[in-house]
Amino acid sequence: MINERQDFIQYIKIERGLSDNTIESYQRDLIQYEVFLTSQQIKQWEDVSREVLLMYLYDIKDAGKSEATIQRVLSTLRLFHQFLKRENRVSHDASLHIDTPKKRQTLPEVLSVSEVEQLLDIDVTTPLESRTKAMLELMYATGLRVSECIGLSLNDLHLDIGFIRLIGKGNKERIIPLGEVATEAVSEYIAHARLVLIKNKQHHTLFVNHHGNPLSRQGFFKLIKQRAKDVGIKKDISPHKLRHSFATHLLENGADLRAVQEMLGHSDISTTQIYTHVTKKRLQTIYQTYHPRA
């Protein structure tokens, strides 16, 4: 069973062009699936039936997994079983006629403009503070995913003309404009702070830690949470909230939905449309709070 999983992972790497994080997620889902099948004395993929797959989905639901997680797992298993059938590793597709549960749409929590200003108002006195300011300004200015931000190379920046170029999710190229404030913060960081932090290391990764090595996702999460705590923001904050705030604030100020979709790197505009619901909800809240007859 392991061989088929490895072949599948190789297939999605080459054919699908998925990100490393997505591939790791597929790998994790399949390993947990195999553990369950082993517990049911199933040792061959040919012996996996629709009923067995359903039993697994009920099993992870009973374990308290969220609807979103179950949906993701089913998506992984459906793609995997289709691969097995297409490659003639099995005679049937065990995932056939299993419906994907509808995902309950939850509106992303965003920071207000004043909260973003609090977060970004950093009095830079050290190289690490310069890096923090540059990262947060860039994240809010572009709406990058955290993996895209920490993966940026010096070669991706075109600060002289105010944009960055990157290869994002699904190996899609994006050109994203960079405002004057973010451009200045990143330029200052590169010219002064990065040279101090990187010491004698030889690499082109833009954002580094105090050892001069590329900053990790965990490092960025700790950094932004500490910054929020320092300025008194009570919301549970993450790098992704800056991405949500970037999109919401653009739309609230009249930006075109298609342009925001392009900058966020969404393949489907329906994914971007969730932010229009956020802005409508906020307008409704404002109306109910301040209108005398609401």
Please say whether the beta carbons of 84 and 46 come within 8 A: no
Assess whether pLDDT exceeds 90 at residue 210: yes
DSSP state of 271: H
Q: Give the largest Cα separation in the chain, rounded.
A: 68
Burial label, 175 (beta-carbon count in 10 A; 0-12, 13-18, 19+): exposed
| CATH architecture for segment(s) 2-86 | Orthogonal Bundle (1.10)
User: Cα torsion for 195, 201, 202, 205, to the nearest 10°?
Assistant: -70
Q: Which of 169, 194, 227, 244 is catalytic?
A: 169
Residue 244 annotated to the active site: no
Please say whether the beta carbons of 43 and 1 come within 8 A: yes
Minimum mean pLDDT range among 55-59, 112-116, 268-272 = 268-272
Range(s) for CATH 1.10.443.10 in the chain? 113-290
Residue 104 annotated to the active site: no
For residue 46 the two structure tokens come to 């040919």
Range(s) for CATH 1.10.150.130 in the chain? 2-86
Question: Who contacts 181 (Cβ-Cβ below 8 Å, separation ≥6)?
Answer: 137, 141
Residue 266 annotated to the active site: yes
Q: What is the tens place of the pLDDT at every residue in 30-62?
A: 999 999 999 888 989 999 998 899 889 888 887
pLDDT of residue 98: 83
Q: Which of 131, 243, 244, 249 is catalytic?
A: 243
Residue 145 annotated to the active site: yes
Q: Which of 33, 56, 140, 275 is catalytic?
A: 275
| CATH architecture for segment(s) 113-290 | Orthogonal Bundle (1.10)
Query: At 246, is the pLDDT very low, low, confident or very high (cuts 50, 70, 90)?
Result: very high
